[in-house]
Structure 1
Amino acid sequence: MVEFVRYQSAVPNRNGHFPGVFALANGLRHNGLLTPEDVRWHQEANRRTTAAYVDPTTVDPHCYDQTRNPGARAWFAADAVELLALTVPYLDLLDRYDVPWVQLTTRAPGRIVYRDGDQVVAVPHSYPDDWRFPAARCPSPSSAAVDDPRPRPQRSEARGAGGARSAGTSGTAHDARRLMQGDR
């Protein structure tokens, strides 16, 4: 069962991070790439979003601290239907400006450092302290290759920690609407 949804850049930024949907839209505006009409829409949409939903940093100023919580990122709760609906126009904006993005879904986004009824901020499972299996039970890649010389099949669907999966190399706002309507 999907519990969390994230929309993020399909490619990392210069710092190796994958900015989320709101950061991508803000980046378009900050870099002067939006039309005047889209600038007006974006400013109003950001005002509505800020008024309606908690900014996690106002509750925990350290939730995105890269020393305490390396790689922390926000995820929407899958049942936060109104918040997910609010993201669709942002995704439409990204589509109009050809900004590639992906939709990720998971049951376990990582070590949760902030939670409210609509969202979590979590440190991804990619850090060694979050690995749940004992090292002694994991076969080494070199011993597996010696034991079985056959070529390994390649999976076409990328999966991440906690069952996270990408909806493809880039999403569309239509894909986001389908998720909200339960067509998973």
Structure 2
Amino acid sequence: MPEYQRIHVSYNGRLGVPVGLFVAVDHLRRAGRLSPDDEALWLTVDDWFIANLPEPPQYSDGNTAGVVTWFKPPLPAAMQRRVEVATGLLSKYGVPWSISESDDPGEIVYEDDFQVAVVPPVRGEPSPMPAGVTLGPTTGGSKQSLGTDASAAARRHLAYYATELADRANRPASPDRQRQLAAFIAQCEALELATILEVGCGGGRDGVALQEAGFDYRGVDLTPEAIDICSEHGLAVTVASAADLPFEDDSFDALWTMSTLMHLDGDGFSRAVAEVGRVVRPGGLVAVGLWGSEPPRRRVDEHGRLFVRRSDSQVRQALSRIGSVETFETGQWYDDGEHYQYFTLRAT
């Protein structure tokens, strides 16, 4: 393994060298290209790096020395996962990136446990801005205050779950959830299904049960903190949105998603349902649980979490577009009509 690695894009910044990973993703934010959810995710990841990756002192004066940083592989697992979030955002928005490797990247003027800052031996000319693209403001510290109004709720949502996840991971599942999960496992075994995706894996409570039952398990969640916790349990998990799953068509035999799709509004919910249908092979088993309501209602709580409580018929109609509903049950009814909905279906 080479001693140093630098992740960068193909265009040059003001220093005349290819722009590094973090600045490149922030260029997407400053150009207004990130969706609200992706902006919220990036600002959360950026804050994590501010807290966990030391800043070279050369940056404090605006980097007049013109240094660039190179990672010292291998990185700690939590840091590597967030690097992969950043590279995933570049790929999602069509920004080519690459990894340069070297044992001698230039004159080292700073070093810590994770990186070195070097004076590049060769510089070129800064790349011109693409036509029609302007960059909004940035800052050396947290950029949360620069986030758009559109991403505010998503940022509060991620912040809430970042602090809540450890508790949720240790919280016992309800008797209904335990029964439904046991029945799902039994049906997957009876159908000789092998690969299972969980959408909204949270702290990994259900994922551990699915993996211990012998299935080839994968999970996705919006929060990097969920990925940290799940990884400690040996679960293969990825940061991703339910509305944009990073898997090929027909990748899984079964899919399990509980209390996740109710946080998606309008087009996001429709895209997530379509994504479920896309990644599960025909004949595969899908289990969907979410809070609903008769009549339907929508609200955002004090933590920024969006709840869209759809009626039973609305959810059934949406799921029928991707498969044949086999079972449906409700539970935990409240006086205002809110209740839990649980569907199983076979993908078509």
Q: Normalised by the shorter chain, which TM-score bucket?
A: 0.5 to 0.7
Q: Note the C-alpha offset of 1:102.
A: 1.4
* Matching residue of 1:61: 60
Deviations 1:18-48 (A, max 9, x none): 1100000111001111001101111111111
1:125 to 121, 126, 136: 121
Q: Which sections of structure 1, spanning at least 5 residues, go unmatched?
A: 128-184
Alignment of 1:111 onto 2:98: no
Amino acid at match of 1:100: P
Once the two structures are aligned, what percentage of the paired residues are identical?
A: 27
- Measured at CA, do residues 18 and 78 of structure 1 come closer, stay the same or move farther in structure 2, by a change above 3 Å? same
> Within 5 Å, which residues of 2 pair with 1:3-152?
3-13=3-13, 16-57=16-57, 61=60, 64-65=63-64, 69-70=65-66, 72-82=67-77, 83-126=79-122
CA contact (8 A) 1:10 1:18 kept: yes
1:3, 1:79 within 8 Å by CA — same for their partners in 2?
A: no
CA contact (8 A) 1:56 1:63 kept: no
SS in 2 for 1:105: strand
- Tell me by how many angstroms 1:101 deviates: 1.2
What's the TM-score, normalizing by structure 1?
0.60
Alignment of 1:150-169 (within 5 A): none
- Rate the CA distance shift 1:73–1:14 in 2: closer, same or farther, 3 A: closer
Instruction: Report SS of the residue matched to 2:11.
Output: coil
Cα 1:51/1:125, change in 2 over 3 Å: same
Counterpart amino acid of residue 72 in structure 2: A
> Residue 60 of structure 2: SS of its match in structure 1?
coil
- C-alpha RMSD of the superposition: 2.2
Partner of 1:169: none
When normalised by structure 2's length, the TM-score is 0.33
- Tell me by how many angstroms 1:13 deviates: 3.9
More strand by share: 2
**CA distance in structure 1 between the aligned counterparts of 2:87 and 2:59, rounded to whole angstroms:** 27
- Distance in 2 separating the partners of 1:84 and 1:94: 15
SS at match of 2:104: coil
Larger Rg: 2
| Higher relative contact order (Cα pairs below 8 Å, separated by 6+ residues) | 1
Unpaired stretches in structure 2, ≥5 consecutive residues = 124-348
Provide the C-alpha distance between the structure 1 equivalents of 2:3 and 2:90, rounded to a whole number of angstroms: 24
Q: Tell me, what secondary structure is at the counterpart of 2:2?
A: coil
Displacement, 1:121?
Answer: 0.5
